[in-house]
Structure 1
Amino acid sequence: MAVINPPTSPRNVLSTEGRTLTLSQVSLTLNMAIGTISGIGFLAFLINGIQQTYWQFYALAGISLITFLFSLNSALKNARGEYSDRDLGWANGFFSILGISTALLIDGAGLLVAVTYVIIALSLTSTLGLFRSGTLSLFLGLTTASIAALAGALSPLPQVQSETMIVILITILAMVVMIFILLGITQFVSTTLQIRLVTAFLAVLIVPLTIATSALSQTAIATNREQIQQNMIDAAEEVALSLDRFFENNLKVIQQEAKADVFSRYFENLKAGKREELDTAEIRMIFRVLELRESSERVYLSSYALLNAGGYNVYDTVQANRGKYEGRRAYFLVPYTTGKPYISPITFNPDGTSYFSFSAPVFNNQNEVVGVLRATYNTLVLQRFVTNYAELGGPNTHVIVFDENLIRLADTYQPEMIFTTVTALTPQQRAELIIQKRIPDLPMIRPVYNADLARFLQTSELNNGAILEIEEGNEGNEAQEKPEIAGVAPMKTMPWKVVFFQAEFDETPIRKSHTRVATVIATLLAYVLGFVAVGVSNVLASPLKDLANIARRIAAGDLKARSEVRTSDEFGTLATVFNQMAEQLEKLVSELEERVAQRTAELERRNQALTYRTNQLNTIAQVARGIVSAQELTRFLENVTELISDRFGFYHVGIFLLDANREYAVLRAANSPGGKRMLARSHMLKVGETGIVGYVTSTGQPRIALDVGQDAVFFNNPDLPTTRSEMALPLKVGEEIIGALDVQSEVPNAFSPEDLSVFTTLADQVAIAIYNNQLYNETLRALAEAQQLHRQYLQQEWAKEVQTHRHRGFRYTVKGVEPIHESLDWKDIEYVYETGKPYIFTETLDDQTQRAVMAVPISIRGETIGVIRVQDQGEARVWSDNELQAVQDVAQQVGVALETARLFEKTVHRAERERRVLEITGKIRSTNDPQEMLQIAAAELQRVLGASKAQIFLLSEDGEDTSSHGNGSGSKNGNE
């Protein structure tokens, strides 16, 4: 197939937002979207066809597969850049056939497909409108959408109902909307004026029509619902009225029957002790007649019975009941005590059968109650009774009768649920009802039918009936597909309620009918108005499209493009203004190009200056970082000179420091070869006299020397003959000048006043580093001196300690610890004392045996005061690192302990000496006689020191000695 409109042609290329967009890329995106949708549709249709075996699904699966293959083929060509209108047309054609077929064969799919195709048509029109006219694609999209909507509403083919497919179609619609939004975000589509106008036309038509259709559908549904609700109330009231008639008639019948003379005469004879066979036969005959009375309900009549005044069953049609005591039953007590007929509640026998009774009092001739006539019915009569009314409300209706405890008494929908409750009973409630024989003492069927119904029946006070709508998903049962509508009516004769239900109220036919009509009308109107909107939008948008094309040409760089003025209306005015704007733009662009060239040159110059200044700041930062670690001053100063030279291109950088007398500035660091020679001969400058360095170190003010001017003479340095510019800055700490930073360049006028602020900061950083280094070195010297004094002190003190105790050491043997008196001139001990390091060796004894020896220093603050020597007789013994470490740890602890003991002993001696001094002082102060004070002092000193003699000599005014009386064993010298 020939490729139409190659992608490289201008017609198929669009530049937007700084990127190039080709028609192949747009077509690839659209084909991927179509392929994705058709692929999902193929899988969905195929799976549903396998599960439900409908031919409609297989047909749609085949169409989906064909669409997928065509879109895949087109996408592959687009990926290679081979755009073809024919390929895109085939893919869109089969995609349209797929949509229309889906609307024809799937119930409820028409509108979803139509909306999907409208969005796709808008997407195609918006996208293709960037390259060419999109009117044709918009017409085709609207036509496809209209056909799909009409096909869904008026399909002549059998449609398949599938909720799964509806969900999938909704998902696809959501995907199409998301793709449309994504294309808009990525600017693959553009909402043109034509699209906006068509969308507005359709929205103005469809939105009100949709709202009106929905309102009409809801009105029709509500009307139908109200009619059904009223029918249910009427039916419930009719059943309640019929049940009331049944109970009222039976109550009247039993009351009339109880008035028969034969019953009162029978009781009188029993009271008199007469029981004639004739009376019994007559009673039997009357009961037989009563049982055979024509009535459909008489089939469920269990028994007739006569109860005497004592409550005993004297006669019963069921012979097994005769003679039983029934005096505690309500059907006996109420008529007997009140004299009025009575209807009993439903009661259960032990065998599980249930019944209710009609009873009436039997009066004698004196109008006294002499007994009770009872007629008992099986409760199945209620089920039989309401069954006749099951279809009273119409098809799919049923009736349920509830007693005051919400127990089902009759149910035409679920007869097996009779005698269960619609709400769960508590154990206490169920026990009470069993005691009252109101429910059977049997396992209950799951009781809950509908919680809403239970709450309604428990709380509602009914007068003329009530309505209850039971929504889907009733509690206790499986969710219903459609709701039920119920009418409730109370009974008058019993505290019971009758509920009539309309099962599965279906509003779908009503809604479909209105939707079908609205769809047909909306589709036809939308199609007509769509064509009108497209025509109107073309007329209105054509001048704007021309202006847009001219704008694109101008944006692409064609500033000579102008719009043709065809009319004098607003569009003509807009075209004229646009042309004027284009001319101004062309002129402005020309001027801007000139300005840009000028600004570019200026920016380059400023960029160079900024780069230079950045290098300056980086250099300062590096110097500042070096200050922290500047311990070796010489190396730091050399690094500073090299860093400044490398960063700024100065061929010579030197640092001068003042000497101790502050007379000369001595060169301490330089980077250039000439500077190195100057360093070698200890180059120095007189402060205040020689060069700008001398000036700076004298005044403390920076100075710049250029190639011309009064400072040019300073450049006559044979070691730096190429210098043409020089800058010197003082190195100051506070107000004290300690040196100067000298920077020289081979370029004339290399330094500007702006450089002074930067290099001044740099000089201050260097000065701080030098000052800190001096302080650091002084601190190190002071610390070394302190440590040396402390070591000397330790050596002296421990030498005294050894001389005092006269022990060379101590040895541990099997006999214990014993002092060492012999000489310890062993090589290992001498080595440890000299080096302060442990020593391990193997020693050979006189008997040629060997032993392993380890000597470890006992140190205090780096000063060795002793040695721990360990030896082992094992010939193969090798000291391990762990053993060495253990002995070293012990030696450390021993050193601390020995020093502590020495200090403690010294403290004790000092304390004893001070005590003796205080004691002697106290004795001396005990007298005021000087001669006696001297005698006491001499005597106490002799005693304390253990001396043989103590004398005190005094100097006379002429310098001659006078001696006090001596003490001790010697002779006396001098005068007193």
Structure 2
Amino acid sequence: MEVKTAKGTRPMWTWIRRRLAPPVFEGDEEKTRIARLLNVTLLSLAAIGFLASGLGSLAGGGSPIVLISVAVVALLLLVLWVIMRRGRVRLASMLVTLLIFVLSGGVVYALGTIRAPIVSIYFLCVAVAGLFLGIRGIVVFTSLSLLALLGLLWAETSGLLPPVVQGPVGLTQWITWAAVLVAVALFFGAAIRSLNEALDRANRYAARLEDQRVHLTEMVEERTRDLERRTRYLEATTTTARDIASELTLDTLLDRVVQAISERFGFYHAGIFLLDPSGEWAELQAASSEGGQRMIERGHRLHVGSEGIVGYVIAQGRPHVALDVGEDAVYFDNPDLPDTRSEIALPLRARGEIIGVLDVQSREPAAFGPDDVAVLQTLADQVAMSISNARLFRQVEESLEAERRAFGELSRQAWQYLLQIQTDLGFLSDARGTVPAGDLWEPQMETAVRSGRATPQNGTVAIPIKVRGQVIGVVDGRKPEGAGTWTSEEIDLLEALTAQLGVALESARLYQETQHRAAQEQLLSEVTARMRETLDMDTVLQTAIREIGAALDFAEVEVRLGPEGTMKDLQTLFAPVR
């Protein structure tokens, strides 16, 4: 039975404490603090009033007026408590302070007016006003207390109040002083508790602010590091792009790119894969790490769309980041790069077409953030354009070389034909004058023609004459007796003059060929015009035979017309000379 009573008492006591607890106003700490202090004050006044009235009744000093006064005060305290709980804390504070002031005046009047020590209760009024209402409350209730004391003094000196007869000290005086003392103690205890709580809140706020300051400092440091890293990456991107912009040799370009990325960005491996002509394989063309070099030596390549991050990026056409390669679904475990913890692969796109992949790997996990992806993709785009330009330059060089070889071959054939027709193209100049050279070829001349290089020998030197890389002749120079050998400056000068001679000879040949073609076209035009002078069939055939034979100096020309099967030879209408 006792256990049940104990269990039933606890919930009731909890309910009472919950009902008498001060209200909490979220977001307004000052209002909550005043409400807490006001709640303690109201409950203390109620307790002191009931205690004082009870002790007075026991002592035999209770009267109906006192009991009625206590009941009225209790009712007022209840009303103020309800006002406070409804959020009108400021109004409740003013009314409580005013109630304490009125009660203090009544106590002072009842216990000896201004000559009684109880007059110090006005200090309690001023303290309550200061805690509840601030500086204005102190000023107002200090003024009211002074006016009240002045009024009591005037009333007593004017005879409006009867003189107080000092009688023996009894229990009533002790109860009164004890009640005042307890009220002051409770009030200042509540005030000190409120101040301590405010100090604790201030300390918590200070600690929270310090935590926020530390957090903000860490955020600023992290943002600063990110900004410094981004700035470093942008500078590295700009420097790398500037370095590779002027490089047109593809192999050198690729090596410079991967080395620059490793050195300036701090990644231990960078590689460039390029698509083969079939577009099905991505072949590793350049790498900055030792493992990557071994892969190049083995001819490392990956199938597009099915092997590793590189193949995936080419197939999808967008970057892929593996922050932890052990957990990435498309990562290809490469034994040549065992230290890789994170990897990023970016498509190399030039002129709307993916030509390969820039693959960068790091020893640190989660080494690539969104900003890194953007910066590296910008660099990858610039690298792709440089690769495309280098390829175009190589194609242009190959085309020019093929064209040069073709023109050289045509020029060689033309000169060969010309030299077959004119076998005596050669002259000798000495003190006697300039005469045809004849068929005499010195050994050094033959050596120069075969080797294509200058051939000095004793006092002579033979310089090959070249046209479009083809040797068409030789210049043989001989110094006077006793003049010594040929110096390098003299040979260089003679080679320069010989080169100009080759240009002049080629120009002369082209001019001669042009003249010959012009004569042929003029002859063709004249023969055609004569054949078209008449519309008579026999006349046209006779004119054609006559003009063709005269133009080409044929001994005989025959033309035949007839249906299929009536002629023995239908290969040509212009029969050869018989």
TM over 0.5: yes
Asked whether the 8 Å contact 2:449–2:473 carries over to 1, the reply is yes
Quote the Cα distance in structure 1 between the aligned partners of 2:267 and 2:484.
68
| Paired position in structure 1 for 2:449 | 833
Asked whether the 8 Å contact 2:408–2:470 carries over to 1, the reply is yes
1:35-114 superposed matches below 5 A? none
| Paired position in structure 2 for 1:222 | none
| Paired position in structure 1 for 2:533 | 926
Asked whether the 8 Å contact 2:244–2:256 carries over to 1, the reply is no
Q: Does 1:763 align with 2:386?
A: no
- Match for residue 641 of structure 1 among 244, 258, 281: 258
- Per the alignment, do residues 683 and 866 of structure 1 end up closer, same or farther by CA in structure 2, a change over 3 Å counting? same
Q: Does 1:804 align with 2:416?
A: no
Higher share in helix: 2
| Paired position in structure 1 for 2:298 | 681
Quote the Cα distance in structure 1 between the aligned partners of 2:289 and 2:454.
50
- Match for residue 486 of structure 2 among 856, 879, 890: 879
Matched to 2:457, the amino acid is F
Look up the SS of the partner of 1:714 in the other structure: coil
| Paired position in structure 1 for 2:464 | 857
Look up the SS of the partner of 2:331 in the other structure: helix
- Match for residue 394 of structure 2 among 774, 777, 782: 777
> Could you tell me how far 1:639 is from its partner in structure 2?
2.6
- Match for residue 821 of structure 1 among 438, 441, 451: 438
> Could you tell me how far 1:881 is from its partner in structure 2?
5.3
> Could you tell me how far 1:636 is from its partner in structure 2?
2.3
- Per the alignment, do residues 920 and 614 of structure 1 end up closer, same or farther by CA in structure 2, a change over 3 Å counting? same
> Could you tell me how far 1:835 is from its partner in structure 2?
3.9
Task: Map Cα deviations across residues 743-801 of structure 1 (whole Å, 9 max, x no partner).
Answer: 22232222222221111101111111111111011011001111111111221111111
Q: Does 1:941 align with 2:548?
A: yes
- Match for residue 747 of structure 1 among 342, 364, 369: 364
Asked whether the 8 Å contact 2:426–2:437 carries over to 1, the reply is yes
Task: Map Cα deviations across residues 217-262 of structure 1 (whole Å, 9 max, x no partner).
Answer: xxxxxxxxxxxxxxxxxxxxxxxxxxxxxxxxxxxxxxxxxxxxxx
Higher share in strand: 1
Asked whether the 8 Å contact 2:554–2:577 carries over to 1, the reply is no
Task: Map Cα deviations across residues 384-428 of structure 1 (whole Å, 9 max, x no partner).
Answer: xxxxxxxxxxxxxxxxxxxxxxxxxxxxxxxxxxxxxxxxxxxxx
Task: Map Cα deviations across residues 161-204 of structure 1 (whole Å, 9 max, x no partner).
Answer: xxxxxxxxxxxxxxxxxxxxxxxxxxxxxxxxxxxxxxxxxxxx
Look up the SS of the partner of 2:400 in the other structure: helix
Q: Does 1:897 align with 2:504?
A: yes
Q: Point out where structure 2 has 5 or more consecutive residues left out of the alignment.
A: 1-202
Quote the Cα distance in structure 2 between the aligned partners of 1:885 and 1:636.
35
Quote the Cα distance in structure 1 between the aligned partners of 2:496 and 2:280.
56
Matched to 1:696, the amino acid is V
Look up the SS of the partner of 1:878 in the other structure: coil
Asked whether the 8 Å contact 2:557–2:577 carries over to 1, the reply is no
| Paired position in structure 2 for 1:693 | 310
Task: Map Cα deviations across residues 519-570 of structure 1 (whole Å, 9 max, x no partner).
Answer: xxxxxxxxxxxxxxxxxxxxxxxxxxxxxxxxxxxxxxxxxxxxxxxxxxxx
| Paired position in structure 2 for 1:703 | 320
Task: Map Cα deviations across residues 126-158 of structure 1 (whole Å, 9 max, x no partner).
Answer: xxxxxxxxxxxxxxxxxxxxxxxxxxxxxxxxx
Matched to 1:932, the amino acid is T
| Paired position in structure 1 for 2:242 | 625
Q: Point out where structure 1 has 5 or more consecutive residues left out of the alignment.
A: 1-586, 843-851, 971-976
Quote the Cα distance in structure 2 between the aligned partners of 1:769 and 1:835.
39
Quote the Cα distance in structure 2 between the aligned partners of 1:653 and 1:959.
79
Matched to 1:653, the amino acid is A
Look up the SS of the partner of 1:894 in the other structure: helix
Matched to 1:853, the amino acid is T
> Could you tell me how far 1:666 is from its partner in structure 2?
1.5
Asked whether the 8 Å contact 2:281–2:304 carries over to 1, the reply is yes
Quote the Cα distance in structure 1 between the aligned partners of 2:420 and 2:231.
71
Asked whether the 8 Å contact 1:715–1:721 carries over to 2, the reply is no
- Per the alignment, do residues 947 and 873 of structure 1 end up closer, same or farther by CA in structure 2, a change over 3 Å counting? same
| Paired position in structure 2 for 1:723 | 340
| Paired position in structure 2 for 1:671 | 288
1:604-619 superposed matches below 5 A? 604-619=221-236
> Could you tell me how far 1:861 is from its partner in structure 2?
4.0
Quote the Cα distance in structure 1 between the aligned partners of 2:558 and 2:543.
11
Q: Does 1:656 align with 2:263?
A: no
- Per the alignment, do residues 934 and 789 of structure 1 end up closer, same or farther by CA in structure 2, a change over 3 Å counting? same
Quote the Cα distance in structure 2 between the aligned partners of 1:817 and 1:626.
58
- Per the alignment, do residues 917 and 691 of structure 1 end up closer, same or farther by CA in structure 2, a change over 3 Å counting? same
Look up the SS of the partner of 1:931 in the other structure: helix
1:242-321 superposed matches below 5 A? none
Look up the SS of the partner of 2:224 in the other structure: helix
Quote the Cα distance in structure 1 between the aligned partners of 2:210 and 2:575.
122
Percent of aligned pairs sharing the same letter: 40
Quote the Cα distance in structure 1 between the aligned partners of 2:395 and 2:378.
26
Look up the SS of the partner of 2:361 in the other structure: strand
Equivalenced residue count is 373
